[in-house]
Structure 1
């Protein structure tokens, strides 16, 4: 038995060391060799959609799109996009809504499944005034008033704790200010829903600025995550956080990193798309759901995913694998006393989430397990809808990328949005 334990520990140590070395090499390659990636992709004949940003892509398919910049209280600059269907000029549904992405995603995720399927397109088609946000650390939110993300490690000193406290409230205030209304509706996927709950716990006045939260596979406590590869990655990053930080590995899985560029290239080739690209996301990382995500969408996904985040954020998810509550980042007992006034990292007060909440989830989700969904439902005081997607194979990523979103997710989203919205007819002056 002792020999088996020693071998197990040796394997863990080897995996940890390998990951540390890979992350260091990836960061060096990213900084040195991918400054002209757009020109390289044009030369290699990539699908033209992969070369476009949110506004360009929306405009290409006939939608009206705007780019705005939100400045948070702590100085981060976040891009937020507004998308409308040009056919809706005479009528618009109010209030506006804010759509927020998940971990390692960006606003582009809501367009990746193409018009008629991507949720941002569907919302615009129904004449909702849709605003699509970004959270600090991805390629649309990698700027700061004073900090340089390539030089200042302080830029990356954040997790969902800061995203929920600063980014979500700042984006809500910006949308409300620009539309002249007092409340909006909010749709959050995974981390995008979890950070909204952080906000309500820490700044409950912002719950009063939102009519309804539609949370799709909300990531809070992830104690029962089934994905072995995801658990292993998070555990290693949490264990090695201090070492990696000392080695200046503060940013993880950024766009144009070596691995992201490699997967993006491979996944343009149909021969490799299904056996490699599909199996990695929907088989190794999440659960298998053959045929749910199209070849074209996989190409878009690997062009935009991963979008980047901080080491601290990934480490915090690692901590949450073993936590009984949805709680703040655990610094250590000594630092916790200084930061929080207690030895333990405090749990978020989910009872303060007073607004109506709708939860949509898949039974085959290997990242946000149904046990953690049910735990969250018991903690929230005002859940008005708990909807399991009818497809028994529906996994975590399907809710953003599946070709069946229009049938499986959209009717529920639209039904609840309609109950908190009104249509106004514009008159010509």
Structure 2
């Protein structure tokens, strides 16, 4: 009986390892050249980078390079000229940060009538967009080679909050000459801001407003079975996978991403299947199919998933087992070495002194309403917590829905105006 269990485990492990390799491996023929994709009929927007895609719709963007204190090279974008803003830009600047497995492209993939980057810049805000370590825009380092050095990938939200968010804030403030900025974070983009305030509270004082869109802190009540199973599998297999050198997951240009991008653009039918996959990933109620259009689906899979570390995904697996918002749990013995206690330390949410606005959906299968409400009860300066009126509004709708201009942007604009001067 024991030998059967061992053999079963081996089969499962090998299968999962093969899947993981599909998410990681880059071959000489990947990523597929842009010219070949264009000849195969890929949507043009799915082939363009941030500056190219915004230019396609009449926006002018700049690319900025930022180096963190621990040597990670990040790419930021600034929309310097919006298509529909014909007045002086408002002050202070706005920093918009993406969620897990995304990039700055996620805020423009739904097009100029719905993408949050377009809507915010059209309202004449000085908009900056960040890209955290490990995605395809920020896959560099001053010393480490991400293709050869596993040490590059030993990060999770703690390092993103401690190094990346402060580095981006400093760059925006230094470049623009402002003392403070307004911050908008989606999902992980909010969670890493909370980490920053806990670990480096002086940076929280550089932000005069946080707008948290489906803010991801504790995720104990996450309902997405697919996301829960995936992340907790990575948690269990992190050690063995690391031993095989599999430390980067869901990277752009890997076998799986290239296949999904190809499949989703084949036809209207395959595009619909990909929409349903997004809804299954988001879990709760997929009866509002159509919120994310077929065109957007075909475009977004050209930029998504954008890549992260195995260690980061394992940490998300842990977050669904704990009622605390806490650091990585290495086990009692290693925790004693790392932290001086058997349990990992909690992040200090009382240090989030900036005014906070939370916007979330009741149909969100990744960041459950119970966890948002728990978070709101822990943060000292919540101005308003807003549940989107559409009862079917889910997690991925925040970046990809065709209805963002009617559902969430009015509240975003309302609060940005309150904390902005013309």
Question: Is TM more than 0.5 here?
Answer: yes
Is structure 2 residue 44 aligned with structure 1 residue 45? Answer: no
Shift of 1:7: 10
2:151 aligned partner: 154
Report SS of the residue matched to 1:215. strand
Deviations along 1:20-42, one digit per CA (max 9) or x if unpaired, are: 122125533x2332044323212
Whether the 8 Å contact between 2:99 and 2:185 is mirrored in structure 1 is yes
Structure 2 partner of 1:118: 115
Q: Work out whether 1:320 is the aligned partner of 2:316.
A: no
State how far apart, in whole Å, the 2-side matches of 1:12 and 1:372 are: 33
CA contact (8 A) 2:272 2:294 kept: no
CA distance in 2, matches of 1:236, 1:103: 17
2:302 matches 1:303: yes
Partner SS, residue 132 of structure 1: strand
Residue in 1 aligned with 2:291? 292
Which secondary structure does the structure 2 equivalent of 1:226 belong to? coil
Q: Deviations over 1:254-302 (max 9, x none)?
A: 0011111111111113343354201111124433131100011001111
Correspondence for 1:427? none
Could you tell me which residue of structure 1 aligns to residue 261 of structure 2?
264
Deviation at 1:89, TM superposition (A): 5.8
Q: Is the 8 A contact 1:80 1:131 kept in 2?
A: yes
2:57 corresponds, among 61, 64, 67, to 61
Task: Tell me if the contact between 1:286 and 1:396 (Cα under 8 Å) persists in the aligned partners.
Answer: no
Task: Give the distance between the partners of 2:323 and 2:163, measured in 1 at CA.
Answer: 25
Cα gap change, 1:91 to 1:266, in 2 (>3 Å): same
**Paired residues of 1:70 and 1:171 also in contact (CA < 8 A):** yes
Q: 1:419 to 1:76 in 2, by over 3 A?
A: same
Partner of 1:340: 339
**Partner residue, 1:273:** 270
Shift of 1:382: 0.7
Distance in 1 between residues matched to 2:277 and 2:121, nearest whole Å: 31
Contact 1:255/1:306 (<8 A) preserved: yes
Deviation >4 Å, runs of 4+: 6-16
Corresponding position: 1:361 with 2:357: no
Determine the structure 2 residue equivalent to 1:426: none
Name the residue aligned to 2:395. Answer: 396
**Aligned partners of 2:231 and 2:316 also within 8 Å:** yes
> How far did 1:340 drift?
1.4
Conservation of the 8 A alpha-carbon contact between 2:46 and 2:301:
no
Whole-angstrom distance in 2 between the partners of 1:328 and 1:365: 24
* Whole-angstrom CA distance in 1 between matches of 2:204 and 2:105: 26
Aligned to 1:220: 217
Higher alpha-carbon deviation: 50-59 or 87-96: 87-96
Name the structure 1 match of 2:90. Answer: 93
Match of 1:208 among 205, 208, 223: 205
How far apart are the structure 2 equivalents of 1:12 and 1:102? 33
Q: CA deviation at 1:386?
A: 0.4
Task: Give 1:47 shift.
Answer: 1.7
The whole-number CA distance in structure 2 between the counterparts of 1:78 and 1:23 is 25
Q: CA contact under 8 A between 1:266 and 1:272: conserved in structure 2?
A: no
1:139-167 C-alpha deviation (Å, 9 max, x unpaired): 00100001000000011010000000000
Q: 1:175 Cα shift?
A: 0.1
Structure 2 unmatched ranges of 5 or more:
none
Match of 2:226 in 1: 229
Instruction: Give how far 1:345 is off.
Output: 0.8
> Quick check: 1:286–1:397 contact (8 Å CA) kept in 2?
no
- CA distance in structure 2 between the partners assigned to 1:233 and 1:329 by the alignment: 17
Tell me the secondary structure at the aligned position of residue 183 of structure 2. strand
Question: Separation in 2 of the partners of 1:49 and 1:380?
Answer: 39
1:90, 1:218 → 2: CA distance? 32
RMSD over equivalenced CA pairs, Å: 2.0
Deviation at 1:192, TM superposition (A): 0.2
Can you give the 5+ residue segments of structure 1 that lack an aligned partner in the other structure?
Answer: 424-429
Instruction: Say if 1:106 and 1:138, in contact at 8 Å, map to a contact too.
Output: yes
